[in-house]
Amino acid sequence: MSLIAEGASPVLFEGDGVEAEPDGRAARGSSGNLVASLRCPGAVFGIAVLTSWLLVAVLAPLIAPSSPTAPSAGTLLAPSAAHWFGTDELGRDVFSRVLYGARLSLPLALLLVTLASVVGSSIGAFAGFAGGIIDSFIMRITDMFFAFPSIVLTMAFAAALGPSLQSAVLAIVFVSWPPYARIVRGLVLGMRSSNYVAVSRLLGASSGRLLVRDVLPNVVGPVLVVATLDIGSAVLLLAGLSFLGLGAQPPVAEWGAMVAEATQFFSNWWMGLFPGLAIATVVFAVNMIGDALRDYFDPRSFERPRP
């Protein structure tokens, strides 16, 4: 309720006539401090985990003890020295399958997010620059896409193209681009009326130069943050679709598909647990990195000493 009764500290706004606090020390937001912000424990952990998984994805053929698709031992064996994660219902080594799964999930997730962010940002930037009717039109289309649940759309794609990893990827890109469009359009609109853009234009900058010099540096930050956090969602979505049978088809080793198969073998806990953990650790790691990036890019995140 009232600020005074509750004793809440009101916003101290140093507006016209009073100079805001000079921040002589480099606050977060300068490139020099990207490394510093990524040094926080969460981000370090995230980077370590992600790097490990990327290494696994690259080196899987070398380090996997058995083939991911061919049976290598008896069926439904519990984890042991020979098979660290046990075997599944067809006798395939779960450990190898998890390792090979990384080769699918990670690159696909990265590809998904890259595509979605590039497509979305371009659409959003175009809408922001164009303004007026074009902007409204594009935004209404964006809203339409926002309204689609990804599962429904994927099922539609699967029906049309046949269930496969490719159709799952396409469907996910289709539903993932709208947030980027919205963010970038908002940023561009805000920047169009900002003072430094006005000055740039008065100094003779062309629209192209404005885009590259003034708009892009301010857009990259937020988009990167969203994209990083989106990687986690992409992995989950992919896994989810495979779980529903709409993505990776057997015998491909994909984490989501593995979890799907494991639902029928609940008592053989190792079949679902390890791929599930793999998904969870990747999503967690990526979220930690995304959080650190968000703090780094937030211009208002540094402490301001009061007068």
* Residues in binding contact with other proteins, number by CB under 8 A: 51
Query: Which one of 199, 263, 264, 280 is in contact with other proteins (CB under 8 A)?
Result: 199
Token pair for residue 246?
């709409």
Longest dimension (CA), the chain: 80
Per rule CB under 8 A, is residue 143 in the interface with other proteins?
A: no
Stretch that binds other proteins, among 102-110, 163-171, 181-189, 213-221 (CB under 8 A): 213-221
Query: Which one of 35, 204, 266, 267 is in contact with other proteins (CB under 8 A)?
Result: 204
CB neighbour list of residue 204: distance below 8 Å, 6 or more residues apart:
none
Query: Which one of 75, 80, 136, 194 is in contact with other proteins (CB under 8 A)?
Result: 194
CB neighbour list of residue 105: distance below 8 Å, 6 or more residues apart:
235, 238, 239, 254, 255, 256, 278, 279, 282
Per rule CB under 8 A, is residue 29 in the interface with other proteins?
A: yes
Q: How many residues does the chain have?
A: 307
Query: Which one of 22, 74, 132, 149 is in contact with other proteins (CB under 8 A)?
Result: 22
Per rule CB under 8 A, is residue 135 in the interface with other proteins?
A: no
Per rule CB under 8 A, is residue 41 in the interface with other proteins?
A: no
Q: Cis link prior to 251 (omega < 30° from 0)?
A: yes
Rg (CA), the chain: 24
* Cα dihedral across residues 119, 120, 122, 127: positive or negative: positive
Q: Give the integer Cα–Cα distance in Å for 35 and 38.
A: 5
Query: Which one of 115, 205, 224, 244 is in contact with other proteins (CB under 8 A)?
Result: 205
Q: What φ, ψ does residue 300 adopt, rounded to 5°? A: -100, 10
Per rule CB under 8 A, is residue 192 in the interface with other proteins?
A: no
Per rule CB under 8 A, is residue 18 in the interface with other proteins?
A: yes
Q: Which DSSP category does 267 fall into?
A: T
Nearer to other proteins, 74 or 307 (CB): 307
Query: Which one of 41, 132, 149, 305 is in contact with other proteins (CB under 8 A)?
Result: 305
Q: What is the DSSP string of 205-258?
A: --HHHHIIIIIHHHHHHHHHHHHHHHHHHHHHHHHHHHHTTSSSPTTS--HHHH
Q: Considering only residues 216-275, where is the footprint of other proteins by CB under 8 A?
A: 217-218, 221
Per rule CB under 8 A, is residue 3 in the interface with other proteins?
A: yes
Per rule CB under 8 A, is residue 35 in the interface with other proteins?
A: no
Task: Give yes or no for a contact between 100 and 68, defined as CB atoms under 8 angstroms apart.
Answer: yes
Nearer to other proteins, 160 or 202 (CB): 202
Stretch that binds other proteins, among 10-18, 59-67, 232-240, 243-251 (CB under 8 A): 10-18
- The contact set with other proteins (CB under 8 A) reads 1-7, 9-27, 29-30, 194-196, 198-207, 213-214, 217-218, 221, 299, 303, 305-307
